[in-house]
Amino acid sequence: MKKKSSSVKRKNLKNLIFSPQIRNKRIKKIYERFEYLINQKKFKGYLVAVSGGADSLALAYLSKCYQIKNKNKNFHYVHVDHKLRDKSSNEAQTLKKILKKFKVECKIITWKKKKNTKKTQSHSRDYRFKVFESFCKTKKINSLLLGHHFDDFQENFFIRLLRGSGLKGLVSFYNYRNLQRNNINIVRPLLDFSREDLLYVTKKTFNFHIDDPSNRSLEYLRSRVRFMINNLKKNGLDEKKFKLTFENLVSSNNSIEFFVQKNIKENSYISPSKNNNRALLTSKFFGSTGEIILRSFTKILQDISGRYFPARGKGVSRIINQIKQKSLTKTTIGGCVIEKIENSVVISKENTK
């Protein structure tokens, strides 16, 4: 009898922890914002990316609350083990066991590195997105939930500033709340909340998260930027003023984007085929200002290639200059083949098989 009571007590505890009627006011506020953003669109199913960090575990918790409240079984939790650290596989198994205690089934996918392939943070990121896209297609779901938060957003701004990015690069993370690539919705519903907020959620629920030491290593630019931002906060960096400045930049960027779309619509022809794997650009396409040409060209390259990340601006600028100087015949960039044919430029998807 005692064993049965203990079992019922544990079951009730789990239901309470994941109840949408959250008693903790701070967590309830975060959940309500999360729920509101998820409900903005109708999704066929959800892949929840779980790295094991505090932010992704908070995302897993909020997703489970939403799943229970809406009686939606089409939620999938996935962790990618990149094997960048010796302990990563053990950490992945620990993560899986802890989530299972809370009835969250997490699938672990291990990166089986090919010979002569480097394992860097950048390569890992690219591989991770390929895994997620493949998983979504296999399960016939159309949304990927990521745990990026306000600190990521702020760090991203300063990283691009240090790299000399233009206006679009500086405000790029603004549009990352809900993107669509290869028919998959990439949703970041936690951008309004800080790393501290999500750590609070994770501590109050799982009381566990994986601490990746690379997040503190000054070997990586993001870690150095994080250290710099912390120092700026000590010296008066104001979050409200930062957001106001950023919104002003976004407004300017939107004005430029209007003319980018106008240039694409009036001076290019994109194949109406299902995969949009071919585009023709007229000579007028290259008659606008430099920034508008660069963005228009980059956007078409990304659409044709189907890649999540756009081609590097430096390489794109070089090709545009070659086209203007009439020195280009044929080249490749960003998964595309660019070919000059008489007065037009033809862009097609590169065959990598």
Domain residue ranges of the chain, discontinuous segments joined by +: 18-237, 257-349
Q: Give the per-residue pLDDT at 172.
A: 78
Task: Specify whether the CB–CB gap between 317 and 294 falls below 8 A.
Answer: yes
Distance CA 298, CA 293 (A): 8
Distance CA 50, CA 96 (A): 10
Indicate the pLDDT class of residue 4, thresholds 50, 70 and 90.
very low
Q: What is the pLDDT of residues 29-67, one digit of tens each?
A: 999 999 998 998 888 899 999 999 999 999 999 999 999
Q: Quick one: which H or E segment has residue 335?
A: none
Q: Are strands 344-349 and 336-341 parallel, antiparallel or unpaired?
A: antiparallel
Distance CA 25, CA 20 (A): 12
pLDDT mean over 181-195 = 89
Distance CA 93, CA 77 (A): 14
Would you report the helix, strand and coil content of the chain in percent, each value rounded to 5?
Answer: 55, 15, 30
Q: Give the per-residue pLDDT at 115.
A: 54
Higher-pLDDT residue of 9, 316: 316
Strands (E), the chain: 46-49, 75-81, 106-110, 143-145, 178-181, 184-187, 268-270, 278-281, 330-333, 336-341, 344-349
Indicate the pLDDT class of residue 275, thresholds 50, 70 and 90.
low
pLDDT mean over 311-340 = 92
Q: What is the pLDDT of residues 143-172, one digit of tens each?
A: 999 999 999 989 999 998 988 888 888 887
Domain 18-237 bears CATH identifier 3.40.50.620: yes
Q: What is the pLDDT of residues 293-319, one digit of tens each?
A: 999 999 999 989 888 778 888 899 999
pTM: 0.75
Indicate the pLDDT class of residue 111, thresholds 50, 70 and 90.
confident
Higher-pLDDT residue of 335, 3: 335
Sheet arrangement for strand 143-145: 106-110, 75-81, 46-49, 143-145, 184-187, 178-181
Q: Is the pLDDT of residue 251 over 50?
A: yes
Distance CA 51, CA 91 (A): 10
